[in-house]
């Protein structure tokens, strides 16, 4: 049975976007919305001549890199844990 999707409107850089998410994803999408808007505001403050499209693109690139780093770190940690378990396991 598929999980039901809920329609949520998020606001990024003053524009509203409808998205459909699971109940579990609602908190995650709210965090993404907050992070993007915070990053956009920081870029606008630090680079006043940068237009909104550039601010939005740069914010998304920065957050994507941060996410990729998190995924790589978690993947490496998981591989390490698995190797550790294999090394300590007794096979008969």
Query: Domain boundaries in the chain?
Result: 6-88
The per-residue pLDDT for 70 is 60
The per-residue pLDDT for 92 is 37
Summarize pLDDT for 21-71 with one digit per residue, the tens. 888 888 888 988 998 999 999 999 999 999 999 999 999 888 888 877 665
The per-residue pLDDT for 91 is 42
**Angle at the Cα of 11 (from 6 to 12), degrees rounded to 5?**
125
The per-residue pLDDT for 44 is 95
The per-residue pLDDT for 66 is 81
pTM over 0.85: no
Contact 9, 16 (CB under 8 A): yes
Residue 5: pLDDT over 60: yes
Number of H helices and E strands in the chain, helices first, is 2, 2
């Amino acid at each position: 049975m598929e999980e039901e999707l809920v329609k949520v409107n998020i606001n990024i850089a003053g524009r509203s976007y409808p998205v459909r998410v699971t109940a579990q994803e609602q908190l995650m999408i709210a965090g993404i919305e907050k992070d993007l808007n915070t990053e956009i505001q920081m870029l606008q403050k630090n680079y006043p001549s940068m237009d909104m499209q550039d601010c939005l693109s740069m914010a998304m690139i920065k957050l994507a890199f941060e996410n990729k780093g998190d995924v790589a770190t978690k993947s490496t940690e998981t591989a390490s844990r698995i190797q550790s378990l294999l090394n300590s396991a007794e096979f008969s």
